Amino acid sequence: MRNIYLHILLNSLIELFSLVGVIIIVGYLLGLIERWSNFFMAFGMKGILFTAWLGTPIHEIGHALMCFVFHHQVVKIKLLQTKSEDGTLGYVIHRFNRGSLYQMIGNFFIGIAPVFSGIGSLLLLLYLFMPDCYHLFKEYVQNQTMDQPSLSVFISASTFLLEHLFTLKNLINPLFYLYLFLSTCIASHIALSPADIKGATSGLITLYIVILIGNGIAQPNHFASRSPISFVTQYNVYLLAFSSIAILFSLLSLLMSYTFYLIRRS
């Protein structure tokens, strides 16, 4: 009996990670890169606001849209503020019914929503400014097999983007540089704030409890509880491939911050 309980606990953790592990890792990496970028920011708050005018509203709109999806009431929203005592650039205040499992789970997706809105915006910019590259990248992602290692998917997608973005044709195209600037603005502010992570954690715990209960019911009845989870995890390869564009431009922002940092120090 003890082994059965342990099996259910571990199985539920594996399913939870399969379901949301990729987006958590992507969010963590983006946060790490942003912290380093801010550390090397040579122009202080002015340098942050240089990209925040676009990146922060998209970050907050992501929260607000996910509030709508999970039936949370948006009490107040600030897409961008240039002056605040604690340096907060924007925020969304929302209410929810603690008696609703759907709304409780929604806290996780509301917390990580800027990752989705950021990646979506980057893909939209790619479609608008670099349509040829967009269609090639889309076709490339669709041709990826589901059994590839995660790191392999990410590296190959990043390499593909670099090869097809920084071409001679694009380098002589003025729109390419506008695209780089706008994309860097967005990517610089995808990372989750401590408040985002706190809200997402409560939703993640609720999601785990729901999966745990589902597996507890399914185990003695021999239901194939992993089948819907397995179906959803097929899209992890797409998420990994598309997230490469966000990480790529976040690294570009870090490189620019570090370059200006060295110039000002010399």
Residue 155 has a CB neighbour count (10 Å cut-off) of 12
Mean pLDDT, the chain, rounded, equals 84
| Cα gap 122→67, rounded to integer Å | 21
Q: What is the mean pLDDT of residues 211-224?
A: 70
pLDDT at 221 (0 to 100): 57
Counting Cα atoms < 13 Å in the Cβ hemisphere of 116 gives: 13
pLDDT tens per residue across span 173-184: 999 999 999 999
Q: Is the pLDDT of residue 147 over 90?
A: no
Q: From CA 11, how far away is CA 6, in angstroms rounded?
A: 8
Q: How far is CA 156 from the centre of its chain?
A: 19
| Confidence (pTM) | 0.86
Give the confidence band of 233 by pLDDT, cuts at 50, 70, 90: low
Lowest mean pLDDT among 19-23, 28-32, 86-90, 231-235: 231-235
Q: Give domain limits for the chain.
A: 2-52+107-265
Lowest mean pLDDT among 21-25, 59-63, 92-96, 145-149: 145-149
Q: Please give the pLDDT value at position 13.
A: 87
Render pLDDT for 183-204 as a digit per residue (tens, 0 to 9): 999 998 998 888 899 889 999 9
Confirm if 108 and 69 have CB atoms less than 8 A apart. no
